Amino acid sequence: MAGAEWKSLEECLEKHLPLPDLQEVKRVLYGKELRKLDLPREAFEAASREDFELQGYAFEAAEEQLRRPRIVHVSALHRRIKAIVEVAAMCGVNIICFQEAWTMPFAFCTREKLPWTEFAESAEDGPTTRFCQKLAKNHDMVVVSPILERDSEHGDVLWNTAVVISNSGAVLGKTRKNHIPRVGDFNESTYYMEGNLGHPVFQTQFGRIAVNICYGRHHPLNWLMYSINGAEIIFNPSATIGALSESLWPIEARNAAIANHCFTCAINRVGTEHFPNEFTSGDGKKAHQDFGYFYGSSYVAAPDSSRTPGLSRSRDGLLVAKLDLNLCQQVNDVWNFKMTGRYEMYARELAEAVKSNYSPTIVKE
Ligand SMILES: NC(=O)NCCC(=O)O
């Protein structure tokens, strides 16, 4: 499995394919070609000074007679948040989402409590939320800040939470990771509980947003419920490694955008994190001190199946996407997945299937 030396799928395709083939491969892999955004020169200069990648693309919708375009700029990014947020502001970003548990190493592999649980903090008024409130207000930007939450009002329970901060600087609310991985070194159940807040959608000045945290992207019904509650953009802040999920990554968030007539933003960490003590995870692997390679490759996908190229696998980055939210309804009106979905039938059958005396409907000869 490649580490940092393999920069990105896009770079590899561009290096090896003749132009006519490249155009066809890109059409199949990424859908319609997106216009590159003309981002300010000073934004590129600042990104280069701070040593992170900057890319921008526009998702355009057809002009309508009754509605004006509903343009929103969103972004997915990695570390060095303040400098990166400043560059995002130069690019006119309206909503920004950071990677999962962005304030800490992804230490859940270790199963050691200290010092890692020291990173947990209040979603409402912890230091990270206060920091993000300043960023939000200064830059008139909605900030989605995924943290490890300590809920001291309920017995210090820990949760994997995304705090949503309005562009006014007020905390709009929070949402919690519903599904906890039990795979490989993702020993996260040692640290926090399955979310209990359902599938909230946040009405912001720039559109209705939701957050499906990392492992929730493997659950189509989790995406569906955010969409049923009206989400137009669903962020998927993640921390995932190549050996486990790199072949799933380009498919899942993109498929969710198509299936739910919404935009999705898949955001991943970059690099390898080393821990002081060796750990194992009961999977036969020798004791080791790192999680594996977090392969970045963040991207934004649209309801019409188009998507941006991925950010690099090896560098911090800021991906700016200009979305016209009218595209959600336009695609819905063509494909009608919402209208043709048999939700009542699924609800009835699922309600039966979860009963302890249920037996699956299998017709046999
Ligand atoms: N952070 C997290 O839930 N990772 C699980 C692995 C994956 O979903 O790819």
Given 132, 214, 262, 328, the catalytic residue: 214
- Which of 147, 159, 186 is the best mutation target for the ligand 1 pocket, counting ligand atoms within 8 Å of the beta carbon and taking the most? 186
pLDDT at 39 over 60: yes
Res. 2 pLDDT band, cuts 50 70 90: confident
Tokens at 142, concatenated: 């909605």
Output the six-digit token pair for 179: 């599904």
User: Residue 78: its pLDDT value, please?
Assistant: 41
Q: Which two tokens stand for residue 185?
A: 């070194």
Cα gap 2→282, rounded to integer Å: 24
Res 242: pLDDT: 87
For the stretch 296-337, pLDDT in tens is 999 999 999 999 999 999 999 999 999 999 999 999 999 999
Share of the chain above pLDDT 90, in %: 95
- In this prediction, residue 258 carries a pLDDT of 98
First to last CA, the chain: 46
| Known catalytic residue at 214 | yes
Q: Percentage of the chain surpassing pLDDT 70?
A: 99
ipTM above 0.95?
Answer: yes
Task: Answer whether residue 243 shows pLDDT above 90.
Answer: no
Total-model pTM: 0.94
Q: Which of 10, 100, 121, 252 is catalytic?
A: 100
Rounded to the nearest angstrom, the distance between the alpha carbon of 281 and the centre of ligand 1 is 15
- 36 flagged as catalytic: no
Q: How far is the CA of 32 from the centre of ligand 1 (A)?
A: 29
Minimum CA distance residue for ligand 1 atom 1: 239
What pLDDT is recorded for position 75?
64
45 is catalytic: no
- DSSP three-state, residue 94: coil
Helices 220-228, 249-260: axis angle to 10 degrees equals: 30
pLDDT, one tens digit per residue, over 268-288 is 999 999 999 999 999 999 999
Mind listing the pLDDT tens digit for each residue in 194-226? 999 999 999 999 999 999 999 999 999 999 999
CA distance 208 to 229: 9
Instruction: Pick the residue whose CA is nearest to atom 9 on ligand 1.
Output: 240
Residues 6+ apart with CB under 8 A from 33: 26, 27, 306
pLDDT at 52 over 80: yes
For residue 73, what pLDDT band results from cuts at 50, 70 and 90? confident
Task: Enter the tokens of residue 294.
Answer: 């977090």
